[in-house]
Structure 1
Amino acid sequence: MKYKFNQTGKFLGSGGEYKSAHTVLAGLPFDATTSFRPGARWGPQAVRNVSEVLEEYSPRLNRDLSEVSFYDAGDLDLVPGRVEVNLERMEAAAAALFQDGKLPLFLGGEHLISYPLIRAARRHYPDLAVLHFDAHADLREEYLGERLSHATVMRLVAEEIGPGNLYQFGIRSGTWGEFAYGQEETNFFMDVITQPLARLVPEFGSRPLYVSIDIDVVDPAFAPGTGTPEPGGCTPREILEAIYLLSRARVVAFDLVEVCPAFDQANITAALAAKILREAILAWSR
């Protein structure tokens, strides 16, 4: 499957060499199945643009982006309206990054992008566990008759990796059936993040982890620029604490999804996403 990245700007502190980079950022401007407010395809560039407001130094981690080998590959070229073709392109691009030994950080786009990325990750890391931070369970079997949707993505993931290998944090919205499935089949932590994560990190040991953060896990008071806002979420400090806790684990891939610039008052959601990315780069990169 052929794919190509186009350079659409650079995230704060990114270097110019793919070959020598340990960590690679890839934008996936895709929102074909968004069910409420579209526009997440513009998320990657909005996050890049606002990243310049940040310093390259993290006081919490006492580390600077100049200390890590980090490359921004740009956005993947996608075909408007072709869901399955685009998912195939994403999977191929992710597989190449894993084959090259990179730590990929993917920037969406809507949450369906996680499915092909996790498929590629699992082929490279057969004992993969997925950590999912979200307001929504995303465990529907179908949505409006469609299997491929941002509302079904974690059900697809559960079927791909086995539901016992899926850990869900901060969930506060879904159907009765989704909550029943999650509580019976996955590792399901409703409305909480840091307490269960702190307990689990030592148990993960050196197991490879794929981390997926939907920005709507954060309360819309702090992150209004998202497609499906759900009141009652965590604070920015809590989701950043999750990044810091995972610095003691083996994160092999990460995605951050559902930033929707059209509804982002004063770019505060994009700024939060940029800080999450900066801290993830510094916490997990060599």
Structure 2
Amino acid sequence: MLGPGGATFLGVERCTLGEPDTYKGADVVIVAAPGAGGANHRPRARSGASSARRPLPLRVDALRELRVLDAGEVEAFSETAESMAAIEEAVTAIAEAGAVPVVLGEHEAVTVPDVTGVARHYGTGLAVIYFESAGRGPGPAARRLLESGTVRDDRFLRVGRRERLPVPEMPEVPERATCEGTRSYDTVQIGTRGVDSCVTEAMTIALDDCDAVFLSVDIDVVGPERAAGIGASEPGAITPRQLLEAVRRLACELPIVGMEVVESSPPYQADTTGFLGSRVVLEALSGIASRRRGDAWSPARSLLVGCGSLA
């Protein structure tokens, strides 16, 4: 099953997860993981992962310079554990084929199989840059990754967190000792230091003793005031522009070997939220293509076809 009407992301060619020959030689394979976990206090529709794949009219160099394929959705099972295992196997297969897996996930729970699947191929030299809104401690998915040893605490970098309003049915889970080594950049630091400063420091840490980076973007990092179709309802987040600029730079300057865009609650505003999720992927693809061309990062240079430069 692909997106609405059988559409693929940006109209790219299709491939089939169960047929490795269909994505042999691909640079990027996009896959949706819609059925791996439940929602938080705001419901998600089963169309959540697919809505982020809605075609955009914009074409970029990345789609000419990279071979980007869309594998549709990973099969969903009634048991969460089965769905998680299926996602992990799909991500591992894509990574082992030499492509960058880009997962469109319905819930942050898919972060565990997404990162684990990539780590199975790249080993312990994998750093994670994790855009999320969780409060004081990492969320459940992040804790599972850290406690399992899949990712080193000191190479797990959290960007954009903010204090969450209490939700009665979702009691705060205390941060465990194994999460204390993580580095976090909350919205106060980002507002005071600036996005560029925080991103520069995060990149330096990520590349220290690591040669591969997984980029995770939880769309609720931008807050409901700008993307209403998300799982978290706390205001005071970073802006979509800050997120897109950060993603573009990270993909251009870092060896991104896996990526995910997760969390969506389409009933609240599917169009703008799905569009933002698609744009996050678009910016990352543009950055990856730019890096492979050997371009030096410049914030003034547009990565879109037909656009000029300020420099």
User: Judging changes above 3 Å, is the alpha-carbon distance between structure 1 residues 181 and 230 closer, same or farther for their aligned structure 2 residues?
Assistant: farther
Q: Which residue of 2 aligns with 1:121?
A: 118
Q: Deviations over 1:202-259 (max 9, x none)?
A: 4544720111110010021111101222210011111011112211111110000002
Select 1:259's aligned residue among 241, 257, 264.
264
Q: Which residue of 2 aligns with 1:85?
A: 82
1:180 positional shift: 8.7
Q: Which residue of 2 aligns with 1:166?
A: 156
Question: How many residue pairs align between the two structures?
Answer: 261
| Inter-partner Cα distance in structure 2 for 1:111 and 1:138 | 17
Q: Percent identity?
A: 27
| Inter-partner Cα distance in structure 1 for 2:101 and 2:254 | 16
1:264 positional shift: 1.0
Contact kept, 8 Å, 2:12 with 2:70, in 1: the verdict is yes
Query: What are structure 1's unaligned runs of at least 5 residues?
Result: 1-5, 58-62, 141-150
Select 2:64's aligned residue among 60, 63, 66.
66
| Inter-partner Cα distance in structure 2 for 1:28 and 1:228 | 19
Query: What are structure 2's unaligned runs of at least 5 residues?
Result: 15-21, 165-171, 293-311
| Inter-partner Cα distance in structure 2 for 1:138 and 1:98 | 32
SS in 2 for 1:48: coil
1:138 positional shift: 8.6
Opposite residue 12 of structure 2, the aligned amino acid is S
Contact kept, 8 Å, 1:215 with 1:258, in 2: the verdict is yes
| Inter-partner Cα distance in structure 2 for 1:258 and 1:138 | 19
Q: Which residue of 2 aligns with 1:197?
A: 199
| Inter-partner Cα distance in structure 1 for 2:112 and 2:206 | 22
Alignment TM-score, normalising by the size of structure 1: 0.83
Q: Which residue of 1 aligns with 2:108?
A: 111
Q: CA RMSD in A?
A: 2.3
Contact kept, 8 Å, 1:30 with 1:40, in 2: the verdict is no
Question: Which is greater in Rg?
Answer: 2
Q: Deviations over 1:10-35 (max 9, x none)?
A: 01041345223210000001253212
Question: Does structure 1 residue 156 correspond to structure 2 residue 159?
Answer: no
SS in 1 for 2:46: helix
Q: Which residue of 1 aligns with 2:13?
A: 15
Q: Which residue of 2 aligns with 1:281?
A: 285
SS in 2 for 1:105: strand
Contact kept, 8 Å, 1:128 with 1:208, in 2: the verdict is yes
Contact kept, 8 Å, 1:138 with 1:154, in 2: the verdict is no
Alignment TM-score, normalising by the size of structure 2: 0.77
| Inter-partner Cα distance in structure 1 for 2:127 and 2:107 | 21
